[in-house]
Amino acid sequence: MHLLQHLLKIKYCKIDKDEDFLKYFKKLTSPLNLRYIFNPSFYCDNDVKIFAFRGVPIVNDWLFSFISVEDKNGHSVKNVSLDLYEELNGIRLIDPKVTKLNEEFYITFNSGWIPQGNDIFIMKVYPTIESPKRLIYKNRQKQERNWAFFSEGGEIYALYWINPLKILKLKNIGPMSWEMEDYHCEEKENNNFSNDLTIGTQLSKLDDKYYFIAHKKIHFWKKKIYLGKFCALAFNKKEIRPGKYWLVHSFKSLFGSTVKYNTNLFSCTYFSGIQASSASIKLGYGINDIEYGFSTHKFEDL
């Protein structure tokens, strides 16, 4: 499908921006003296607010990952890239995502692209903080990015691939690792939607479905353009259904930025956060690796 055909089915998230989330996040990040802030992931309720995001300081061009936790006991913001630098032997910490598993909260992250193969980690961050655990899966690819974890019936699973659908299950927890195994692996592609969607946000459960935003990468002038696609996973049926539209921040954002931390990108609306409620879907995303956005949508509008 050509770029023009995608543009005819695009929804601009900026139109439905969430002013309350934007205001809170700006207040949260202002003391950090960051030049660029992007890719926010989150979970918020009346008891706790947890955000993970990436940022570049004013004083240099280093990319750091941060986590913010606020509850009745106070508020803290940590530069987890620096905090974990020695523990992870200098491994980069990128794409942090907040996920809720059996009433506890974790972040997942990966070590970026490494020639010999990268690593993926999961780390408990609330109500207590624990050391990160490396994720082990014998059938993994050399370069991995995002696995979307979720809990069901006391067990922990991970959405590994969208089409054909592949779900992993937690097999064993060791002192320094989690081992995953195949749980549901389909061989045939679903012809009702694209076979090149990749996992963007974590999963957010409402009733009997898990909602998330997937990414599609369109090649344009030997570069990539990221678009989002709203999806729903029915775990009991082992079925994923995509939404109606491709999602981007705005028409202007499709033209990218002069600042390029990823030289392979033309432009990118990188969806990193989602939370579903009975009334709406809240989204968090990065804009061309320099800005962030939050928006709220009705289910039928996605």
> Which tens digit of pLDDT belongs to each residue from 77-90?
999 999 988 888 87
Domains, the chain, in order of start with CATH, read 3-301 (2.115.10.20)
Strand pairing report for 223-234 and 265-276: parallel
More confident residue, 157 or 146: 157
What is the mean pLDDT of the segment spanning 33-44? Answer: 96
The burial of 213, by beta-carbon neighbours within 10 Å (0-12 exposed, 13-18 middle, 19 or more buried), is given as buried
191 contacts: CB under 8 Å, gap ≥ 6? none
pLDDT score, position 5: 56
Other beta carbons less than 10 A from residue 109's beta carbon: 26
Q: 48-62: per-residue pLDDT in tens?
A: 999 999 999 998 888
pLDDT at 195: 83
Q: What is the pLDDT of residue 218?
A: 86
The per-residue b/e assignment along 14-30, b for 16 or more CB within 10 angstroms, e otherwise, is eebbbeebeebbeebbe
- Phi, psi for residue 235 in degrees, rounded to 5: -65, -40
For 236, counting Cβ atoms within 10 Å of its Cβ (0-12 exposed, 13-18 middle, 19+ buried), the class is exposed
pLDDT of residue 6: 58
Structure tokens at 76: 């803290």
Q: What percentage of the chain has pLDDT greater than the value 70?
A: 97
The label of the residue with tokens 């954002």 reads 253
Please report the DSSP string for 106-144 in residue order: EEEEE----TT---EEEEEEESS----EEEE-TT--SS-
What are the structure tokens assigned to 241, written together?
Answer: 């259904």
What does the alpha-carbon distance between residue 292 and residue 271 come to, in Å, rounded to a whole number?
10
- Give the pLDDT of residue 284: 98
Query: What was the pLDDT predicted at 2?
Result: 54
pLDDT digits (tens, 9 = 90+) for 201-218: 999 999 999 999 999 988
Single pTM value for the model: 0.94
Does the pLDDT of residue 7 top 80, yes or no? no
Q: What is the pLDDT of residues 223-277, one digit of tens each?
A: 888 999 999 999 999 999 999 999 999 999 988 888 877 777 788 899 999 999 9
Evaluate if residue 37 carries a pLDDT over 70: yes
In whole angstroms, give the CA distance from residue 273 to residue 3: 25
DSSP per position, 23-64: HHHHHHHGGG-EEEEEEEEEEE-SSEEEEEEEEEESSS---E
The answer to whether the CB of 67 falls within 8 A of the CB of 40 is: no
Task: List pLDDT tens digits, range 149-202.
Answer: 999 999 999 999 999 999 999 999 999 999 999 999 999 888 878 888 999 999
| pLDDT classification of 36: cutoffs 50, 70, 90 | very high
Tell me the pairing of strands 133-136 and 177-185: parallel
